[in-house]
Amino acid sequence: MNKNFDNKHYNKKMKPLARKLRREMTKAKVKIWNDLLRRKQLFGLKFLRQRTISDYIVDFFCKEVNLIIEIDGYSHHFEEVFDKDVKRQKELEELGFTVLRFPDEEVINDFNNVFRTLEIWLTENKHV
């Protein structure tokens, strides 16, 4: 089997930057990590934070179900950042991953909806 496939396109060269980003997570990323994704809290699934995949570092990643969760701050409203997000998401999806995006505000102000969205996706895709 293809080693890159087994390792989910992990990019070792980006590891130092990923470590730095783990230490500098936004308030919304800390909340979803601590309150939902850490220690297999979401239906027993293991999530990694700031995982390198191909040429990108994704916010949260679950290898078992090929799910990427991105938490978008205010800068993602700008056209050039939005365009990069579209390109990045397309490339990640072409590698076989599903990308679910949530704005910072939703994670902070409507956490139950974030949980419900993830629960629905996992149920519909027969992972729960």
Find the helix or strand (DSSP H, E) in which 96 lies: none
Distance CA 32, CA 36 (A): 5
- From first to last of its 128 residues, what are the pLDDT tens digits of the chain? 444 446 788 888 888 888 888 899 999 999 999 999 999 999 999 999 999 999 999 999 999 999 999 999 865 555 676 788 899 999 999 999 999 999 999 999 999 999 999 999 999 998 76
Structure pTM? 0.87
Q: Ramachandran region of residue 10, left (φ > 0), alpha (ψ -120 to 50) or beta?
A: beta
Question: Which residues touch 35 (CB under 8 Å, ≥6 apart)?
Answer: 41, 111
Ordered by where they begin, the domains of the chain are 3-124 (3.40.960.10)
